[in-house]
Amino acid sequence: MSANLQHNALLFLVCLLFTSCVKDVDFEEAEEITITPIIEANLVFFDIEATRFYDVETDTPILSVSDVTELPFLDDTGTQENLLEAEFTFLFANSIEREFVVDFEFLDDDGVIQYNTQTTVNQGFSGDVRETEFIHSVVVPETLNLTMANRLRIVVTIPSSDATLQGNLVMQSKATFYFEIKDRD
């Protein structure tokens, strides 16, 4: 290619670059930023032996066992303002020959239930573990009640018990939180 032709081609490209269409940037629009993070977290785990449901010293059944777990992030202002949905997954493995009712109570600082749900765990059999999966979603506007809590009390109730009861009830759980965070300038 001749030097003159190269020069003309380069001049043409430079002119094209400076005269091409460019969309004006709306800086007002640029300030409206929304992010939608999804956070997964392990929640609670337990392994309850059948012997916990019977007091051999007093020869009496214990029909209910409970425990409380702190969830300090749940009642945070940012969580309250931005949480769209919370999905809880509970997986139970039961080898106790009883069906169970499990209550999930989300409590505030004063121990008042702000949100609750319940499930039934399938009866297990001696030497045969039965699994039950419970998935529970909380969506707006119920997420506000959920985020007024900072503790989770799980109450496991058995219909009957005796000294011969054997096996274990194991639970694993996770929570998935769906947020929408908008820039609020």
pLDDT tens for 90-147 read 999 999 999 999 999 999 999 999 999 999 999 999 888 999 999 999 999 999 999 9
What ranges do the domains of the chain cover? 35-182
Q: Please report which confidence band the pLDDT of residue 44 belongs to, taking 50, 70 and 90 as the band edges.
A: very high
Are the C-beta atoms of residues 82 and 73 closer than 8 Å to each other? no
Query: Whole-number mean pLDDT of the chain?
Result: 87
pLDDT > 50? residue 16: no
In this prediction, what percent of the chain has a pLDDT beyond 90? 72
In whole angstroms, give the CA distance from residue 103 to residue 124: 19
pLDDT > 80? residue 48: yes
pTM of the model: 0.80
Q: Please report which confidence band the pLDDT of residue 185 belongs to, taking 50, 70 and 90 as the band edges.
A: low
Q: Which of 66, 120, 124 is nearest to 93 (CA)?
A: 124
Q: Which of 115 and 12 is assigned the larger pLDDT?
A: 115
In whole angstroms, give the CA distance from residue 24 to residue 170: 60
Q: Which of 53 and 185 is assigned the larger pLDDT?
A: 53
* DSSP H helix total and E strand total for the chain: 4, 12
pLDDT tens for 138-182 read 999 999 999 999 999 999 999 999 999 999 999 999 999 999 998
What is the structure's pLDDT at 10?
Answer: 44
CATH number 2.60.120 given to 35-182: yes
